[in-house]
Homo-oligomer: A and B are copies of this chain.
Amino acid sequence: MKNNKYQAIYQQLVMKIEKQDFVAGSKLPSEHDLMELFDTSRETVRKALNQLAQNGYIQKVRGKGSIVLARDKFDFPISGLVSFKELAEKMGRPWQTVVHELESVVDSSDLESKLGESELWKVVRSRRVDDESIILDKDYFIKSQVPYLDQDICKNSIYNYLESEQGLQIAFADKEVTVEEATDEDRQLLDLNGLTHVVVVKSIVHLDDASPFQYTESRHRLDKFRFVDFARRMK
């Protein structure tokens, strides 16, 4: 819990919207009202509202007010840097992680240019849902940032370990989504059922001081891939 007024206001409003205390299509109280309600200044209220708009909860309309949007919350997915554990738990389906490789490697020159360092952890895991192996995750972590890893951590959430135990702050990622022909490894570790292609999500993940620390390749079975997004028009 931070001491941020505007984040507190944001969270309270999100809660009320998700509980449907504010119905989609109706309007939020005016900035002036919220200002008195939370006993704060207008700019602080506006910071919270801008965050709501950014995340697709409301649409602000000049001269009218802030309209509550109908966001399908139930499947915020791979978007926005969620870990598989968070994602799986949000889906409420039984899931399982199988660790295939966990080893220390020294570069492959392609990765060094992306991560700026050559001593890496290589982790290969597959994700099972409903007793089928549908995602293959290949992760590379910079050893100087992640000195220790073990099977147990990999079987649970590496992100959770890094953020809560190691105090690393994951900040942002560059991502690329493409479709590629399945490799032998894909056919071995995924239940492809004869499918010839896989959806590949490649990303470079950065810490909050802007240093890259992880390269990930997430290979998804076509028919199980789904990606939901909320996009605002930039001017």
CB <8 Å contact, B177 and A226 = yes
The distance from the CB of A8 to the nearest CB of chain B, in whole angstroms, is: 13
A229 CB contacts on chain B under 8 angstroms: 79, 174-177
Q: Is A88 close to B, CB under 8 A? A: no
Minimal Cβ-Cβ distance residue in B for A55: B234
Minimal Cβ-Cβ distance residue in B for A51: B234
With A197-B197, A210-B59 as contacts: A178 and B231 at CB distance below 8 Å: no
CB <8 Å contact, A179 and B179 = yes
Chain A interface size, under 10 / 10 to 19 / 20 to 34 / 35 or more: 35 or more
| Chain multiplicity (copies) | 2
Minimal Cβ-Cβ distance residue in B for A225: B179
A32-40, A97-105, A142-150, A165-173 - the one binding chain B: A165-173
Given the complex of chains A and B, what is the CA–CA distance between A231 and B230 in angstroms? 12
- Of residues 123 through 181 on chain A, the ones whose CB sits less than 8 Å from some CB of chain B are 170-179
With A176-B227, A206-B59 as contacts: A170 and B233 at CB distance below 8 Å: yes
Given the complex of chains A and B, what is the CA–CA distance between A54 and B228 in angstroms? 19
Minimal Cβ-Cβ distance residue in B for A181: B223
Q: Is A110 close to B, CB under 8 A? A: no
Residues on A facing B (Cβ under 8 Å): 7, 43, 54-56, 59, 61, 64, 67, 69, 71-72, 79-81, 170-179, 196-197, 199, 206, 208-210, 222-223, 225-235
Q: List 6 A-B contacts (CB under 8 A).
A: A81-B233, A174-B230, A175-B228, A175-B229, A175-B231, A176-B229
